[in-house]
Amino acid sequence: MGEVHEGGCLCGAVRYRAHGALRPVIACHCSQCRKQSGHFGAYTSVMRAEDLELSVTEGLAWYQSSAAAERGFCKRCGSALFWKPLDRDRISLSAGSLDGATGLRIAQHIYCADKGDYYDIADGVEQRAAD
């Protein structure tokens, strides 16, 4: 079956397994990601139906944050875990929710026009004003 990456929330009320290769991390600087995470969102992704297995879901809650997407989080500890577009068959996983070393790197910064004024993006990775 290939690679398996495990992850979950801070308190353990949500656990998952991601099967297969993970997409490189995209750092999202939109106002919603900043408000949810306290900084910017850093997400990898897998195919929703085929590659994501939810093993513990007692804390999982979904919030429809826009007409285009939902965000999954732990209702017990508040950990931001998932971003799910309603019109695509992928689900993004918060890179910080993965257990242990991942070998992933940030490949792109998006919504840079919305980034906070308190930091600079200086890692040399591609920056896009929007998505």
| Per-residue pLDDT tens digits for 42-93 | 999 998 778 999 999 999 999 999 999 999 999 999 999 999 999 999 999 9
The answer as to whether 65 is a domain residue is: yes
Q: How far is CA 49 from the centre of its chain?
A: 16
Task: State both tokens at 116.
Answer: 């906070």
| Half-sphere exposure for 12 (CA within 13 Å, toward CB) | 0
Across the beta sheet with 4-8, what order do the strands follow? Answer: 4-8, 15-19, 52-56
The answer as to whether 58 is a domain residue is: yes
Confidence of residue 2 (pLDDT cuts 50, 70, 90): confident
Asked if pLDDT for residue 11 goes beyond 80, the answer is yes
Asked if pLDDT for residue 1 goes beyond 60, the answer is no
Give the domain extent around 94: 4-114
The answer as to whether 36 is a domain residue is: yes
Q: For 68-98, give one letter per residue: b (16+ CB within 10 A) or e.
A: ebebbbbebeebbbbbbeeeeeebbbbbebb
In total, how many domains does the chain have? Answer: 1
Asked if pLDDT for residue 14 goes beyond 60, the answer is yes
The answer as to whether 57 is a domain residue is: yes
The answer as to whether 93 is a domain residue is: yes
Average pLDDT, the chain: 96
CB proximity list for 57: less than 8 A, separation 6 or greater: 14
Domain containing residue 23: CATH number? 2.170.150.70
Quick one: pLDDT at residue 114?
97
